[in-house]
Amino acid sequence: MRVFGQSPYDNTKTLADSGFVAQDTPLYRDFSAAELVTAGSKLNQRWDAALARNRLAQLGIPPDRPVGKLSGGQRAQVALALALAKRPRLLLLDEPVASLDPLARREFLQSLMGSVADAGTTVLLSSHLLADLERVCDYLIVLNSAQVQLAGTVDELAAGHRQLVGPRHDGTPPAGVAAVVRASHTDRQSTLLVRTDGPIDDPSWAVREISLEDIILAYLATGDTMTSHTDWGVPA
């Protein structure tokens, strides 16, 4: 693995250029936010204390209260402010909003997107909260059992998948279908979630757009059983 073209192992430059926010926001709970900002200035060669203080002030987070007495959403915002104070080129977020209520989650993500847009920071975010991905991600990788099931830009993935509803599926998809990701059937009707490679003009099939969340869930549920139009039963 390489980060910024270099090995990240025992590489202080890579660490200096990277920020990290963990799922459980492991802050020193007896420290106040102001004390954590001061500590950060002592531990990092490049540190923007004014950025951290201004962010916390804008969010109304008490600077002198121990972070252990703040709400979960406030602690997450403190952790994000500290990570951004490094002025990182790469920001790593590990399930940063998993434990937050919907309002705190939205506020965190809005705050994140505003900050990284101003700084041009690259963000690598892992999350099981699928509804949040479409709102904040440009590029998506879906992993299942440590295997990549799907990868691409969010716009490409949304445009390249459709739901088809039509007569009972006989094993031959209509023209324009590259792969059937998931299929369900009744006696007379089939519903297919497909990856497309062209327009689907067969009038016997109703073609519908599908949400990114449904696309992701289909790949997670299907794993390596997806079938292609060229060789049914062989992983695509």
Kindly report, residue by residue over 15-42, the tens digit of the pLDDT.
889 999 988 888 999 999 999 999 999 9
Query: Distances from the Cα of 103 to the Cαs of 73, 74, 99, 110, 202, in angstroms?
Result: 9, 12, 12, 11, 44
Task: Examine the domain organization and report whether 54 and 18 are in the same domain.
Answer: yes
In angstroms, the CA 159 to CA 199 distance is 11
Tokens of 167: 């007569």
> What's the structural domain count of the chain?
2
Task: Examine the domain organization and report whether 114 and 170 are in the same domain.
Answer: no
Query: Distances from the Cα of 204 to the Cαs of 2, 163, 168, 229, in angstroms?
Result: 50, 13, 11, 18
Confidence (pTM) = 0.80
Task: Examine the domain organization and report whether 23 and 72 are in the same domain.
Answer: yes
Task: Examine the domain organization and report whether 55 and 96 are in the same domain.
Answer: yes
Query: Which of 106, 137, 168 marks a domain boundary?
Result: 137
Residue 125 bridge partners (DSSP)? 93
Residue 196 bridge partners (DSSP)? 177
In a domain, 233, yes or no: no
Q: Could you read off the pLDDT of 64-120 as tens digits, one per residue?
A: 999 999 999 999 999 999 999 999 999 999 988 888 888 888 888 888 888 888 788
Domain limits at 86? 12-137
Cβ burial of 154 (10 Å; 0-12, 13-18, 19+) is middle
Residue 191 bridge partners (DSSP)? 165, 184
Side-chain-side CA neighbours of 120 within 13 Å: the count stands at: 0
In a domain, 4, yes or no: no
Task: Examine the domain organization and report whether 31 and 125 are in the same domain.
Answer: yes
In a domain, 218, yes or no: yes
Helix or strand holding residue 181 (H, E):
strand 177-185
Task: Examine the domain organization and report whether 167 and 128 are in the same domain.
Answer: no
